[in-house]
């Protein structure tokens, strides 16, 4: 029979923790485990300094999405990876997030780019971690899905326009028939 997973050791209850020194060792061990989880997560994760908006840490998945080594982001303002056309909205959302605006969406699409100009559409999610003065967030690359949806959306728009144009033509034809009928009637009198 398999034993259920237990969180032993995360709260300093590890056997043989031996007082304050053991608790500090356990804390450091836990911190190392959490950073390994962060670094190896398959979703793009990042931590920003809350006040400055600069990257504190990014994981490998984040680096793969934007194409630069993780160390290149540390100390860089988040705004440097935002595409110019999305910058104003991102600044507004950041200020609203800092103020605790409850109407701010928890996740939204954003256009990011690296210093080489490569652009990615991402699904952005973030939360402020108050006790750490950090904004912790994730990005998921949805560029491919967007590119696949564009032709479908275009086809649907064209179909709607065709239907609308057909409706206008039909209505115009009805008006012409009425005018023609009245003209015939007026001519016969």
Torsion (CA) 95, 97, 99, 102 in degrees, nearest 10: 130
Using pLDDT thresholds of 50, 70 and 90, give the confidence band for residue 7. very low
Q: What integer pLDDT is reported at residue 151 of this predicted model?
A: 61
Report the pLDDT value the prediction gives residue 12, as an integer from 0 to 100.
43
- Predicted structure pTM score: 0.65
Residue carrying structure tokens 């500090």: 24
pLDDT of residue 4: 47
Are 57 and 138 in contact by the 8 Å Cβ rule? The answer is: no
User: What DSSP line would sit under the chain, residue for residue?
Assistant: -PPPP--TTTTS--TT--HHHHHHHHHHHHHHHHHHHHHH-SSEEEEEETTT-BEEEE-HHHHHHHTS-GGGTTT-BGGGGB-GGGHHHHHHHHHHHHHT-TTS-SEEEEEEE-TT--EEEEEEEEEEEGGGTEEEEEEEE-HHHHHHHHHHHHHHHHHHHHHHHHHHHHHHHHHHHHHHHHHHHHHH-
How far apart, in whole angstroms, are the C-alpha atoms of residue 116 and residue 114? 5
Please name the residue that has the structure tokens 């009198």.
189
pLDDT at 10: 40
Give per-residue pLDDT as tens, 118-142: 899 999 998 888 788 888 999 999 9
Give the dihedral of Cα atoms 126, 80, 131, 62; nearest 10 deg. 60
Residue 27 makes CB contacts below 8 A (sequence gap 6+) with 12
Q: Which two tokens stand for residue 163?
A: 């239907």
- Residue 89, token pair as written in the block: 């909205």
Q: What's the whole-number mean pLDDT along residues 43-62?
A: 93
pLDDT of res. 40: 93
């Amino acid at each position: 029979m398999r034993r259920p997973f237990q969180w032993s050791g995360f709260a300093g209850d590890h056997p043989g923790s031996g007082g304050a020194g053991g608790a500090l060792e356990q804390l450091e061990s836990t911190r190392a485990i959490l950073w390994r989880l962060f670094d190896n997560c398959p979703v793009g994760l990042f931590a920003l300094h809350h006040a400055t908006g600069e990257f504190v840490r990014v994981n490998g998945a984040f680096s793969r999405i934007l194409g630069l080594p993780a160390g290149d982001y540390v100390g860089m303002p988040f705004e440097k990876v935002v595409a110019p056309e999305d910058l104003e909205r991102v600044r507004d959302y950041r200020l609203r997030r800092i103020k605790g605006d409850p109407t701010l969406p928890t996740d939204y699409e954003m256009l990011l780019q690296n210093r080489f100009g490569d652009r990615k559409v991402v699904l952005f999610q973030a939360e402020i971690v108050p006790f750490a003065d950090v904004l912790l967030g994730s990005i998921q690359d949805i560029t491919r899905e967007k590119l696949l949806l564009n032709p479908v959306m275009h086809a649907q728009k064209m179909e709607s326009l065709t239907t609308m144009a057909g409706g206008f033509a039909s209505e115009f034809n009805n008006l012409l028939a009425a005018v023609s009928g009245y003209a015939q009637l007026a001519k016969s009198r």
